[in-house]
Structure 1
């Protein structure tokens, strides 16, 4: 009897262990399947988006569907890269404990192979796995709707352009603003109804978010140019006691042609709140009968005061969503190089993308990374960056980028390899000119030496209105920096 009982118990234990092992194995396989499905789905959606962006689509519903595809693609890529980055940081911590290195442990080909299986399997645990499942279902629903979209897409003509790499395309386009472009275009091309002869659209947003660039892009649209006989740019500080007719005649002419119906597009840029008060605006708007019926006004401003001056809902321009910004930054930083082949560099790029959300900083850092594509440089850049951010937070309580936006003095590192500090006491946006300037990346890399007071060019936009972003700087002796003095107190 004891022998029989022992055999039965042994069989039950064996079956239980086998069941648990099989269940664990199935869970692990399920995680891998989820990952592979998500990656394949993202490739399908990305291929569709790139194909659609190469076509001249005019149907509004298809443009809305294309925007949904973009947003889903950005969110999917961001989720995969975030999980991958989290796992990578965990491995880097383990490596640092073992070899006491700062960051970026030596990356071996054998480790790359196991990274795609073991480490990703570790990532899909608990809430992360649930979120991945939700994302997979959401993207699958979007992909199911692509079949009809692709059928209709074939009916639209191709846009003629050279087969550039994706990063070259993004450097010369309005990235992430397709929905805003479509809304402004619809406003401009909509015929005025009834007695209302002048439509006004306010565009409100923080500094350097892309308001002027967005409007300039609209002005180059052939549909807009063929609709208006003239497009004129004015500064809010020039209004004074002028009427709309005076502004049209005295402003900077962006476009002028002969069309069947004479009408004007006047763009007014208000930089300071004091450029115009409520009484002046009422007086200016009362002069609308002086310009042809069907004319339109676009106002760009940082101030909320202009929210209620429009004849339609204001367009609020904000920073790109984090997912879209990461996609943009990654493409620019890696260029034609596949980020999958450099997971540690991809992790560094993700950290920098999270630090700087504006287009100027993203373009500068990404181009600097792409021009110095090596682990040693990225590691050195991150070390200096973390150090300078930490010092600003300790001394001033805020990130240096936030301080710069508030016109507060900040400090930058002159040479990553032989650190000295530069005082930045001014930041401005100006129109492009061909005068030689010291480039910020030359200062950072030590190819240009800083002496006394000087200006550095942070970044030069490659799309109209071709703005240049310039910092006013002053070289500081290393032993006399504010950081040294503060620490000595």
Structure 2
């Protein structure tokens, strides 16, 4: 893999250097300032030509070797600069008595800075012979306000498949309908349309969707089928089945024989051999979109609604581009996204005349080179973040919060604006990648996004991933030494993984992204912890072990620690509180955890915290002292009876999630002081009373909550006035679900003038919406499910909600204009 991402890498380093120079300048001694300034100047000079060098390296091996040397200087420079951040945090906590903040530390670091300077000067000295030009990254940054996945031209195909599903069962219990087509043609999209069709819901007792790409997970699937599908009429989609999965088919077939007669399996595949082997009926061959439908999709992705009519010259060029796309929806919408809001004719012509598109026009069937056009048009900082996603397996469902914190832990996110939170930077990056159709199945859960990568887009990410990333590879030691990021999907031979990691001191990432409850030895855990001095991210999610070694405190650069789903660990070492740089700590699913460390207040950089614990009360002077904390998630803390009283100290808290806290009775009144709280989510806390004492009745309680979601509050009879009415000008999304005691809504609900989306589900006693709903002029979507009385009330009093653009009433989706037309007729 050619050396890449150095422009983004150097940009982030310069931001760190600039900040450090400013700090040094403010110190009385400032002994390091001259060297740091020279380092900054040299790096700025090199950065100016990096884009030209990265482009020319493909045809110049000497430039490629020069970039390789530069990369390892930058890695070492980042580690040295990180030492300053670690020391600053340590001194903030331990407060040593020294006359100058960095006096002793400066003396220790001076030789390291000089060494980096010397190596970087050598790199700069050899730069002149390459005749490189200075360039800036002019690739555009944009993001859409919505990320709907538009589908055109597949209604006929959907009807054909649904008709096959409705046919009577054969002699065997089930029949298999293969959908065959080339990659990117829309097989998954078609299967999804069929899967969500109401006729399928009515005709089958059970539905299952299985992503068979990369790993078939046959044992997990067979267990699920045998326990839940036995004797039932089943509809299953096996998405993206490859020829390597055929070895498991006979085993799965045997279990499926126990399903009720008339069960149907839809298989999507690129392989005719798979279709012949698995199918019981002739394969449905999915063809490309018509030119007309392709143009509709292209225009939808390339222009904002209605703007295309102002650019007839671009539409003509777009028509030529679409003709060469072969009717492949993934290519059409990706190229349309590349050109979104771009009105420069010459850039459209570059796409039309590109070599990659010509290859596709010749019928090669390989869409990867064409998709790389999208990657090539990404700004450098997005290329780096996108490529990192290749460490996760195909079919993996990402969560926005976690992915953003991965990037943050590894230093991929940076902003010259000191007031901008890095989490917000990461979310902006993510939305830009959404806009370019590099992720699919995007679901907005209110407080986070979940999404997947199309398999061919995953192949694209893998093809551009640098050599320092390794997924599921037990590389020879001399090769592994250059790997910085390790991801292991399978650790059947954990002793070999442990041996590999034992001597790798430059590792930044150790990741186990999709393991399910795997027992490992203490020596294995120690090998992950003890030897990687510069480790930034350690994800042991799904691994079961009884103790985290004390030596974890020596990994002082660690930003992300994930111990989720470890049901056997009972306590954490107190030394974990010495991880002063830690930003993310995930302890969800640690159901055996008896107590938290007593000095968690020392984790002064902790921003994201998930906890499962057996404690009745959280330790005093612990979590409530974390002024940097932005996200707090208490999950399945069954014995927890109260939250900390002094929550007002959580001055940065943005998101609070309470889930499965069965004994929790009330929220502390101090929640009214959380002025930065934007998302409050409460699930399955049946005893929780949200009615809080306002105390000072004359005090103005102004909160800024934007998302409010509650589910499973069995005793709830009133909505919390303090939280909701106090957020009247900011609340955008409210979801009330499984609250059987809620019978009426307050009249002040109509004061929530910023509300855009309102949902009710499984509230059987709720009788009507309050008067004044017409005041909610920002309301765009109203959704009511499993609440028949409320749904009927809305139908009877349509004028209350006629201004809402989209209305869902107990499975019936209504457009207000259509409904008005029907009732007037």
TM-score by length of 2: 0.28
TM-score by length of 1: 0.45
Structure with bigger RCO (C-alpha 8 Å, 6+ apart): 1
Higher helix share: 1
